[in-house]
Amino acid sequence: MTTADTDYLRPARFIDSGDPAIQAFAQQALGNAHTAKDRALALYGAVRDQVQYDPYIDFFDSAEYRASDVLRAGKGFCVGKSALLTAAARAAGIPARPGYADVRNHLTSKRLREQVGDTFYWHSYTELRIDGKWVKCTPAFDQALCERAKVVPLDFDGIDDSLFQPFDQIGRRHMEYLQDRGAFADVPFETIVADFKKFYPKLVATSPAAASFRDEVTT
């Protein structure tokens, strides 16, 4: 393991891998997995499906971006879930870092589209160091939500990048990447919030929606 790799094993402000709850979650998710790839797959599956995807959160609350807080809430949006996977991986001894990109999402709810449009800035994925190679994966959309939206859950094999579902089950375009912002040692909270205020003025003017994205999503 290189010095650069060890930099991505340390706890950070939002990637708080030293939190006892994060360490317990990682241990439970790992089960009997031994190889780095099997451990990574176990953690990916746990974060993807055990933590509900919910974009109706307070985007200006730092807790929504911190791994341990997302775990305790049992739900979060893409940035928070990526932070959780990154933290769990570091707790399990796998170098990990959050990455970000701007994406166009064609399948969303009417309410969310009215708030943010169809371009999601700072959509987050996770990079894991597996067998000497950085591999990207996106644990955002849980299986239950994907089934409701008629989108195949995003699989990850630990070898190839797994970023998004380009089409839904009936061939409609689902998501496309517009710009990759790269990976970071920790969540760039202040930068993300500044851009959200710039690009999503309706989020600034409204409180978190008391609604269920899962109930609203197109079926």
* C-beta neighbour count of 29 within 10 angstroms: 20
For the 3-204 domain, the top CATH level (class) is: alpha beta
How far is residue 197's CA from residue 156's CA, in Å, rounded to a whole number? 33
| Phi, psi of 43, deg, nearest 5 | -65, -40
Does the pLDDT at position 172 exceed 80? no
* Residues facing 183 on adjacent strands: 99
Which tens digit of pLDDT belongs to each residue from 64-88? 999 999 999 999 999 999 999 999 9
Which tens digit of pLDDT belongs to each residue from 17-58? 999 999 999 999 999 998 999 999 999 999 999 999 988 888
Q: Are 135 and 161 in contact (CB under 8 A)?
A: yes
The token duo for 135 is 């591999």
Does the pLDDT at position 183 exceed 80? yes
Q: Are 126 and 99 in contact (CB under 8 A)?
A: yes
DSSP 92: T
How far is residue 188's CA from residue 14's CA, in Å, rounded to a whole number? 9
- Cα–Cα nearest to 82, from 37, 42, 122: 122
User: How much is the average pLDDT of 114-141?
Assistant: 90
Domain ranges of the chain: 3-204
Does the pLDDT at position 146 exceed 50? yes
Does the pLDDT at position 1 exceed 90? no
How far is residue 89's CA from residue 86's CA, in Å, rounded to a whole number? 5
How far is residue 7's CA from residue 136's CA, in Å, rounded to a whole number? 18
- 64-71's contacts with Cβ under 8 Å and 24+ in sequence apart are 65/14, 65/187, 65/189, 65/192, 66/13, 66/14, 66/16, 66/187, 67/14, 67/15, 67/16, 67/17, 67/19, 67/22, 68/16, 68/19, 68/21, 68/22, 71/21, 71/22, 71/25
